[in-house]
């Protein structure tokens, strides 16, 4: 996931076109005057986010402990064979 400030090429009542890493991306209109927009790119999806949006910090992975069991050897009685 990546968040960038991108320049706006076209902004009208129908669509907005912004430039993200040299690629022109068209999205539905945001209904406000803007010369730059903050864009979140995740995989192959672009999303216009608020100007004060910050990327969430990655949480450290936690591993759950596995329950261990003790295996006891069973001794055979001499009479059982």
Q: Is the pTM of this model over 0.95?
A: no
Domains of the chain: 2-49 (2.40.50)
Distance CA 40, CA 77 (A): 71
pLDDT (tens digit per residue) in 11-66: 999 999 999 999 999 999 888 888 999 999 988 899 888 888 877 777 777 777 77
The pLDDT value given to residue 27: 93
């Amino acid at each position: 996931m990546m968040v960038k400030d991108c320049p706006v090429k076209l902004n009208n009542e129908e669509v907005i076109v912004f430039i993200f890493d040299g690629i022109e991306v068209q999205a539905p209109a945001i209904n406000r005057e803007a010369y730059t927009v903050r864009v979140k790119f995740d995989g192959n999806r672009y999303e216009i986010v608020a100007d004060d949006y910050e990327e969430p910090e990655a949480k450290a992975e936690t591993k759950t402990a596995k329950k261990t069991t003790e295996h006891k050897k069973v001794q055979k009685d001499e009479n059982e064979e």
